[in-house]
Amino acid sequence: MSPRAQLVVGVLLGAALIAFVSRKVEWLVVVATLRDADLRDLLRGLGAVLAFIAVKTLRWRLLIQPFSRIGTWTLLPAVFAGSAGNSLIPHAGELVRIAVARRRVAVETSTLMGTIAIERMLDFATLLLIALVMLVPAGSMTGAARTAIWMVIALGGGMAIMALFAAFRSASILHWLEHGLAWLRPTLRQRILIEARKGIEGFLSLRQPHLMFVVLALSIVQWLLIAATILLSLRALDISVGWAAVTTVLLLSVVGSMLPTAPGYIGTIQAAFVLALTPFDITAVDAVSASILYNALIVVPIWLAVVPYLPDYLRAMADLRRSGET
C-alpha cells in the first residue's frame, strides 16, 4: 500500500474509531475533565517521552556500532524524524529515519534497514515479556489483551525466525536468491544481490550475545517509559489504575498502530484506551480524556523537536528519492 493510500485509509479508520468512541462520551464533559489535568504529571510524562526517544536512539546506535562508530547525539535527529513520520503515516517514518541517518553515518541503507528489523523483533519480544509479567500473575488478562498478545506472538515470532535465519544462514539465503533470480539480466541480478548482502549485514548483530543482552535491556526500559507515560496521563486526571490496566492500554495501542492510522494516531489511541480500561471500571469519559493527554505527549513534543531540522530532513528525503531512481 502506497503512503498516500495508507494516509487515506488511516484517516477513514480514525474517523470510524472516533465515531465509535463518541457514542460513549459527551465531549463537553471531556473538555471539562481536561481542564483539571495536573501539570506536574504532564511534565513528568513529557520527561518520560523524551527519555524514551533517548533510549531508542542509544539502542539503535548500539545496533549500528558493529558497522560504524557514531555518537548517540548524532543519531538523535534521525530518530526524532522517524518518530514524527510514523505519527503522520505509519511505518513510513522509518524511511525518513534512514534517509536522515544516511547523511550522518557511513552505513548502507540496506544495512540500516536490517538494524531496524532487529529493533522490531526486540520490540515484540519485550512487549510479550512485559505483558506476561504484568498480566498473568495479576490474573488480569482481558479478552482484548489476550487477542493483542496473540497478534504480538504471531508477528514477533515470524520476525524472529526471519531475523535469526538471516543472521546465521546468510550464505544459504544469498545462494537461494542467486538461483531464484537467474532469469533476470546479469546487471540487475547483481545489483539485487549486492543490496541483499548489505541488508543481511544488518542482522549480524544477532551473533553477538553480549550486545543483544544490552539491547534487549534497553528495549525493556524503552517500553516501560511508554507505559509510565500512559500511567502519568491517567494520574494527571486523578484516575487510579494498576499496572495491569496500563499494560493492556500499551498492548492495544501498539497493535492498533500496526494498522493504518490517522495523523497523530487520532482515533486509534482513543479506542485503545476505552477498550482497554472499560474492564477495569474506568469510564469512557475518563479513558478518552486520558487518551487525549497521552496523544499530546507522544506527538506534540516530537513534532516540535523536528522543526529546526526540517530543511535537513527535506534534503535527506530528496537524496533518498534520487538514489531510488538511479
DSSP per residue over 206-229, as a string? GG-HHHHHHHHHHHHHHHHHHHHH
Q: Does residue 32 carry a pLDDT above 80? A: yes
**pLDDT bracket for residue 307 (50, 70, 90):** confident
Output the pLDDT for position 322. 61
For the record, the C-alpha cell of 192 comes out as 539485487
Q: Say if residues 203 and 167 touch (Cβ distance below 8 Å).
A: yes
- Cell numbers at 308, concatenated: 529546526
Mean pLDDT of 144-168: 77
11: helix, strand or coil: helix
Does the pTM exceed 0.75?
A: yes
Task: Please determine, for residue 305, whether its predicted confidence score (pLDDT) is greater than 70.
Answer: yes
**What pLDDT digit, counting tens, does each position of 11-29 carry?**
899 999 999 999 889 999 9
pLDDT at 171: 77
List all residues 6 or more positions away from 323 whose beta carbon is below 8 Å from its beta carbon.
Answer: 109
pLDDT at 156 over 50: yes
The chain-wide mean pLDDT, for the chain, equals: 85
- pLDDT exceeds cutoff 60 at 326: no
* Residue found by looking up cell 523537536 in the block: 305
Residue 235 one-letter amino acid: R
Range of the domain at 57: 3-325
Residues of the chain with pLDDT > 70: what percent? Answer: 93
Q: How far is residue 316 from each of residues 34, 101, 243, measured CA to CA in Å?
A: 39, 9, 41
d(CA 113, CA 201): 10
Greatest mean pLDDT among 6-20, 69-83, 146-160, 290-304: 290-304
Helix%, strand%, coil% for the chain, nearest 5:
80, 0, 20
pLDDT of residue 27: 93
Count: domains in the chain: 1
**Per-residue burial over 156-179, b = 16 or more CB atoms within 10 Å of its CB, e = otherwise:** beebbeebeebbeebeebeeeeee
CA 300 to chain centre: 16
Write the pLDDT tens digit of every residue in 81-110: 899 888 887 777 888 888 888 888 888 888
Confidence of residue 277 (pLDDT cuts 50, 70, 90): very high
pLDDT of 325 > 50? The answer is no
Distances (CA, A) of 281 to 241, 277, 278: 9, 7, 5
Residues 148, 135: contact at Cβ < 8 Å?
A: no
Q: In the predicted model, is pLDDT for residue 256 greater than 70?
A: yes
- Mean pLDDT score, 302-306: 89
Over residues 172-220, the pLDDT tens digits come to 777 787 778 777 787 877 777 777 777 777 777 777 888 889 999 999 9
